[in-house]
Structure 1
Amino acid sequence: MSQTPTVDELRNRLVDGILQGVRLTADVEQAMRRVHREAFLPGINLEEAYADQAVSIKDNPLGGPLPLSCASVPSVVGMMLRQLGVEPGDRILEIGAGTGYNAALLAELTGESGHVTTIDIDSDVALHARTMLDRAGYQHVHVMERDGLIGAPDNAPYDRMLAAVGLWDLPRAWWAQLAEGGRLVLPLRWRGQTRSVALLRRGDTLTLEGMELCGFVPIIGQDGEKTTALNSDDTIRVIHDEDQAVDAGALGASLSTTGIEVMSEQRIGGEESFDGVWLRATAGDDRVCRLQVMPDAMAQELVLRPAIPVRSPVLIDGDTLAYLIVRREGADPDRPHRLGAAAYGPHAEKLAQDLITHIDAWGSARTAIPTLTITPATSDTATQPGHVITKRESRLTLTY
């Protein structure tokens, strides 16, 4: 008869599992083996506390589909801490206190000579983090109820800044709080997709040091990303940036016609990621958005099946749209799936071919990531050559 695993066994089992798919530095690995996640999740059974999954700690009071706050997926936590590269003695600001678990990990990494400040806009969340950190022995972590978009200038400058919430734009207030040569890690959203980007500050320029796919609860107070329904039932949607025009009526009319499929020559294995197609397209095409097809629309077969129904890249051009699809073909047993485009509207063939061009560009260098620099939107600092996406407070420049 098997024995119930101990807390230590569950925690080490979680970290061992994370190491199978995520590279961790030795200090991050040891911190995750030391800090008790269950101590920050009272009322959650141990098996759930040590599963590699997010745990909601406060529902959205507005009734939205995403929680107001949650404990992030442990493997994503470890990945972002590796990106952050904390050194002993660092001064750290975390935006989004959550349960307090991440702040405890940061305190372990920076040591007794360092300083960790964690902030949250919600008083209940901040109080939860403060209470859990105190109980777990991390009384020295500074917890503040603050608007994350403003940051915490009280304890600045910071050697490291980490956002545990999704950002559509980089707040101008953060620049003065990040030390010269400091590193900022945040889940940044553009053209409907989110990447955890590690950025190094040199004057008025942030330069990319690493990028990973991720997803996070969005920060409160940014509304530059819009959601537009394409049908009356609101089961087919486009998530787009405020600078992208989406004609819901024209696109909805196009979706009532017969769509076409155009397949590329790019094939993938069953577990192979193809999210790089989306990333590649954003580095040169301002028509890229996110298509969201809800289960009811899929059940009614209102559209041809997208690659991932709730989040697939789509090109929008007036009254025409083309989105990524994956179809199984048996020609290559190692890579049985083929990428292509489904398109609707009067210019379906042309737009589908444009998407195929992006797929082929990705296929020629599947693991490549772009060069990314970020400057303040009002800065006169010259950016590197590349494709520019201008937001309200920042300017992104991407190039391959």
Structure 2
Amino acid sequence: MTEEAATSEELRNRLVDQIVADRPLAPRVEHALRTVRREDNLPGIDLPTAYTDQAVSIKENPSGPLPLSCASVPSMVAMMLDQLDVKAGDNILEIGAGTGYNAALLDELTGPEGHVTTVDIDEDVALHARTTLNRSGHDRVRVFERDGLIGVPEHGPYTRLIGTVGLWDFPNAWWDQLADDARVVLPLRWRGQTRSIALTRHGNTLTADSVELCGFVPVIGQDGEKTAALNTEDTVRIHYDQDQDIDPAAFDESTFSIPCTTTLSEQRIGGEESFDGVWLRATASDNRVCRVEVTPKALESGVRRPSIPMRSPALVSGGSIAYLITEREEADPQRPFRLGAAAYGPDRDSLAQDLVAHINTWGAYRAAIPEINISALADPAPDTGFTITKSESRLTLNYP
């Protein structure tokens, strides 16, 4: 049977089969994915595309490279719903209505005794979600055109809250809308990375028990992330947070014209092996962690290629930078790539050594994830762990 001839149910089940083969899901989440028709929320999209494990844009952004709204990758949707652990009868708040597909899944999961409220700041997106939810029979879902950072207090307290946009901070307004022991799943951003974090409220603290790599369109209204060029040609850029002591003006035009220092770690990886944990672990102890972007023009001029040219983990101090690189070595065919650091600037040698130390620490405990807590900025700072102070909250990380 061709893709064009396959029915919605056949394509949907095939997609879910692929998802659960890679990541087993709770039975209720799997059932919801097999039940809710994604194409109802993607009018004009053909069935094979609707049931491909990829994001689908529904509103482009004329002022930036990322869309204003899209249907998230189905496997990521499944992962986050699994993290959220919805129970029948839950009262759920979703930040970012998108196509309405995720709200339809939440409606299926919480059942007739529960409630789903979804909010989006964009008028067109909110209208799209309302229209498709009505079309698919999920008209019980409440849709609000509103700034999600304010929430929807009139329908709280919520036992579950999920964000479907990248959030840099946890807004103060949400605390009063969460029930005791509420479960929260957020694509949280810090130091240029995004992690889907599942947390449970314990008094005035949210404590995480699940951390997964993810990627989402950033929420409108939070501007804690900064981007700056490190040379006049704007071919090397850094992406960092407003709380960091980073001064891009400390770099001069000669920084990237001088050969770099290259220092290799003891750690090797295979071609499909993830090393994102290097970044995560470094953010739990080092305020210099950010991301570097090296454009094709910079690479052509001789700047050393980072492990990921678009945005690789880096350390920045004064007018010096060290960033993650990979070098192919044939000595170990199972893990042919060796991780290391390339560094520029007056302190390049010591900065490269510091980054290699992070790599080696990660390598000794590759599967480890940190304990993560979120607390309000008005509350006392935690006694233990490494704290990152944002505009409205504190993020505390601690590796056991």
Whether TM-score is above 0.5 comes out as yes
Q: CA RMSD in A?
A: 1.3
List aligned pairs for 1:34-183, cutoff 5 A.
Answer: 34-61=35-62, 63-183=63-183
Q: CA contact under 8 A between 1:204 and 1:375: conserved in structure 2? A: yes
Partner of residue 12, structure 1: 13
The amino acid across from 1:386 in the alignment is: G
* Secondary structure in 2 matching 1:56: strand
**2: CA distance between counterparts of 1:34 and 1:399?**
40
**2: CA distance between counterparts of 1:212 and 1:7?**
29
> Which of 10-19 and 173-182 deviates more?
10-19
Partner of residue 281, structure 1: 282
* Secondary structure in 2 matching 1:356: helix
The amino acid across from 2:20 in the alignment is: L
Q: CA contact under 8 A between 1:199 and 1:209: conserved in structure 2? A: yes
The amino acid across from 1:346 in the alignment is: P
> Alpha carbons of 1:49 and 1:295: their partners in 2 closer, same or farther (altered >3 Å)?
farther
> What whole-Å deviation, never above 9, does each CA across 1:303-328 have from its counterpart, x for those lacking one?
21111111211000001100001111
> What whole-Å deviation, never above 9, does each CA across 1:211-265 have from its counterpart, x for those lacking one?
0001110010001110111233433211100122333343353122211211001
**2: CA distance between counterparts of 1:26 and 1:335?**
36
List aligned pairs for 1:150-229, cutoff 5 A.
Answer: 150-229=150-229
1:385 aligns with 2:388: no
> Alpha carbons of 1:2 and 1:11: their partners in 2 closer, same or farther (altered >3 Å)?
closer
How far does residue 347 in structure 1 lie from its aligned partner after superposition? Answer: 1.2
* Secondary structure in 1 matching 2:194: strand
* Secondary structure in 2 matching 1:255: coil
* Secondary structure in 1 matching 2:138: coil
1:237 aligns with 2:207: no
> Alpha carbons of 1:21 and 1:232: their partners in 2 closer, same or farther (altered >3 Å)?
farther
**2: CA distance between counterparts of 1:318 and 1:23?**
46
TM-score if structure 2 supplies the norm length?
0.97
The amino acid across from 1:57 in the alignment is: I
* Secondary structure in 1 matching 2:382: coil
* Count of paired positions: 397
**2: CA distance between counterparts of 1:125 and 1:94?**
14
> What whole-Å deviation, never above 9, does each CA across 1:94-147 have from its counterpart, x for those lacking one?
000000000000001001110000000011100000000000000101111110
Partner of residue 31, structure 2: 30
**2: CA distance between counterparts of 1:384 and 1:39?**
49
**2: CA distance between counterparts of 1:23 and 1:212?**
14
Q: CA contact under 8 A between 1:23 and 1:79: conserved in structure 2? A: no
How far does residue 295 in structure 1 lie from its aligned partner after superposition? Answer: 3.5
Question: Where does structure 2 lack aligned partners over 5 or more consecutive residues?
Answer: none
**2: CA distance between counterparts of 1:277 and 1:266?**
11
Q: CA contact under 8 A between 1:41 and 1:99: conserved in structure 2? A: yes
Partner of residue 397, structure 1: 396
How far does residue 85 in structure 1 lie from its aligned partner after superposition? Answer: 0.4
How far does residue 21 in structure 1 lie from its aligned partner after superposition? Answer: 2.1
**2: CA distance between counterparts of 1:343 and 1:24?**
42
How far does residue 170 in structure 1 lie from its aligned partner after superposition? Answer: 0.5
**1: CA distance between counterparts of 2:367 and 2:261?**
29
* Secondary structure in 2 matching 1:39: helix
The amino acid across from 2:26 in the alignment is: T
* Secondary structure in 2 matching 1:276: helix
How far does residue 175 in structure 1 lie from its aligned partner after superposition? Answer: 0.7
**1: CA distance between counterparts of 2:58 and 2:172?**
29
Q: CA contact under 8 A between 1:192 and 1:239: conserved in structure 2? A: yes
The amino acid across from 1:96 in the alignment is: G
**1: CA distance between counterparts of 2:343 and 2:114?**
54
List aligned pairs for 1:245-394, cutoff 5 A.
Answer: 245-253=245-253, 254-298=255-299, 300-380=300-380, 383-394=382-393
The amino acid across from 1:191 in the alignment is: R
**1: CA distance between counterparts of 2:81 and 2:397?**
24
**1: CA distance between counterparts of 2:176 and 2:225?**
25
